[in-house]
């Protein structure tokens, strides 16, 4: 229940939306925009927590994972990106399959359950190149869940192989792909997308690839890049397209808001939004996406303290241990330049917010509570 003192202190239209949420009713896009535009941060936190508790109780999930970033050479040159480097740059890399397997072997005898593979869109590598790497990983460590390739990477590698999207996903699944992450969504509004990532796969294609993946039995996550030049209307439009797709397929496991970080990219003058805006974005995402079961705070992007605070604004997942295996956000100026959290630190972070730590696998099956 929402405390009467809070409800009585807000405008009538917000009280009506709050009552809908408490009853478990779906809010409209107009109501979502109104929530974004309100400054009732306490109300948003209480509402988002009530929805979180209805879906997941006080359980807060994490997993033991590591990342592999095969390359930061990319055919795209998005304005917000601090990660991409041109071929020949001293800061670029393109790991060989042997190097990638070396990274996998470095986790021998460690109880990791997931490898997360994303990187730049390399001009020379198709789905068979990457598929054979997945096959080697799966043969070497069959217990490891492979979550790999954003829709942007998939678009290019499948097209380069000369097959359709459904066929490409089928082949990758045979190679060992088990789920796909949510990256590359950025913001779906076509005008904003044209301004910040003009040459990237379209929003329509991103959604189609995820829909085809769901049809093929490959679950996925979804993201939004927020805090740059988008408006609240753009954010709600983005969430609404995801909610519509989830209504059709049910294939999204989690939604992950990703904060724009300003260092080392051509949008640095945009600056970064405040922690209040971060929490508002988590809360409204939880309230609007009533059909996606989990809301994740990706702690390498947000920072540990803000991640802990987000657990009071609808978040029920903090990602994983990472083990200093990703550079995407450290290169953009994130707080944790060498992202790693052990199980004890993650559990302390979650318990400190009054929640219950639950170690999960990629598909949210409980490993240990």
Is 218 domain-assigned?
A: yes
User: Do 95 and 36 lie in a common domain?
Assistant: no
Angle (CA) 58 305 116, round 5°: 75
* Number of structural domains found in the chain: 2
Asked whether residue 217 is domain-assigned, the answer is yes
The residues that bridge with 357 in the sheet, in sequence order, are: 60
Q: Where are the alpha helices (DSSP H) in the chain?
A: 4-7, 12-22, 29-37, 41-56, 97-105, 127-140, 151-161, 165-175, 190-196, 203-215, 232-249, 275-288, 299-302, 304-310, 343-352
Percentage of the chain exceeding pLDDT 90:
80
Q: How many CA atoms lie within 13 A of 347 on its CB side?
A: 9
User: What is the predicted pLDDT for the residue at 86?
Assistant: 82
Q: What is the pLDDT of residue 135?
A: 98
Note the pLDDT of residue 334.
45
Q: Quick check: is 222 in a domain?
A: yes
pLDDT tens digits for 89-124? 888 999 999 999 999 999 999 999 999 999 999 999
Q: Over the stretch 222-257, which tens digit does the pLDDT of each residue have?
A: 999 999 999 999 999 999 999 999 999 999 999 999
In a domain, 115, yes or no: yes
pLDDT in tens, 17-68: 999 999 999 999 999 999 999 999 999 999 999 999 999 999 999 999 999 9
* pLDDT tens string 306-338: 999 999 999 999 999 887 666 554 554 445 556
What is the residue-averaged pLDDT of the chain?
A: 93
Are 203 and 73 part of one and the same domain? yes
Q: Are residues 212 and 101 in the same domain?
A: yes
- In which band, very low, low, confident or very high, does the pLDDT at 292 lie, cut at 50, 70 and 90? very high
In a domain, 322, yes or no: yes
Whether 280 is in a domain gets the answer yes
Q: What is the dihedral of CA 352, 51, 66, 93, to 10 degrees?
A: -120
Q: For residues 73 and 45, state if they share a domain.
A: no
Note whether 211 and 315 are same-domain residues: yes
What pLDDT is attached to residue 336?
Answer: 58
Domain that holds residue 77: 59-368
CATH of the domain at 229: 3.20.20.70
Same domain, 41 and 65: no
Please check whether residues 222 and 356 belong to one and the same domain: yes
Tell me: do 23 and 150 sit in the same domain: no
Residue 65 lies in a domain: yes
How much is the pLDDT for 238? Answer: 98
CA-nearest of 285, 132, 134, 176 to 221 is: 285
pLDDT for residue 172: 98
Domain co-membership, 11 together with 119: no
Beginning with the edge strand found earlier in the chain, give each strand of the sheet holding 65-68 in spatial order.
65-68, 114-117, 145-148
Please check whether residues 87 and 34 belong to one and the same domain. no
| DSSP letters spanning 159-208 | HHHT--HHHHHHHHHHHT--BB--TT-----HHHHHHH-TTSPPHHHHHH
Residue 40 sits in the same domain as residue 109 = no
pTM: 0.94
Is residue 54 included in any domain, yes or no?
A: no
154 and 63 within one domain: yes
């Amino acid at each position: 229940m929402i405390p009467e003192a809070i409800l009585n202190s807000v405008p009538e239209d917000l009280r009506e939306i709050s009552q809908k949420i408490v009853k478990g009713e779906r809010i409209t896009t107009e109501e979502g925009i109104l929530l974004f535009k309100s400054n009732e941060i306490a109300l948003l936190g209480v509402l988002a927590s009530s929805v979180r508790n209805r879906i997941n109780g006080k359980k807060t999930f994490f997993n033991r994972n590591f990342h592999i970033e095969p390359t930061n050479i990319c055919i795209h040159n998005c304005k917000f990106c601090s990660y991409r480097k041109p071929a020949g740059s001293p800061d670029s890399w393109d790991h060989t399959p042997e190097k990638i397997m070396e990274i996998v072997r470095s986790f021998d005898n460690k109880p990791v359950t997931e490898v997360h593979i994303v990187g730049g869109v390399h001009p020379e590598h198709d789905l068979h190149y990457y598929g054979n790497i997945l096959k080697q990983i799966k043969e070497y460590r069959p217990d490891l869940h492979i979550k790999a390739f954003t829709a942007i990477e998939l678009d290019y590698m499948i097209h380069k192989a000369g097959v359709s999207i459904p066929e490409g996903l089928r082949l990758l699944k045979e190679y060992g792909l088990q789920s796909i992450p949510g990256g590359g969504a950025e913001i779906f509004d076509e005008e904003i997308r044209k301004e910040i990532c003009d040459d990237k796969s379209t929003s329509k294609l991103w959604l189609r690839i995820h829909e085809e993946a769901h049809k093929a039995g490959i679950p996925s996550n979804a993201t939004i890049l927020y805090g740059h030049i988008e408006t609240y209307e753009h954010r709600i439009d983005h969430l609404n397209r995801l909610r519509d797709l989830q209504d059709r397929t049910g294939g999204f496991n989690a939604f992950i808001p990703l904060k724009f970080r300003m260092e080392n990219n051509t949008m640095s003058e945009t600056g970064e939004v405040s922690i209040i805006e971060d929490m508002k974005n988590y809360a409204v995402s939880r309230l609007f996406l009533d059909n996606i079961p989990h809301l994740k705070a990706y702690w390498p992007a947000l920072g540990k303290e803000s991640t802990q605070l987000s657990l009071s604004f609808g978040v029920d997942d903090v990602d994983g241990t990472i083990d200093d295996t990703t550079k995407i956000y450290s290169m953009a100026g994130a707080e944790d330049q060498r992202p790693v959290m052990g199980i004890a630190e993650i559990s302390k972070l979650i318990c400190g917010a009054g929640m219950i730590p639950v170690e999960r696998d990629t598909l949210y099956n409980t490993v240990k509570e």
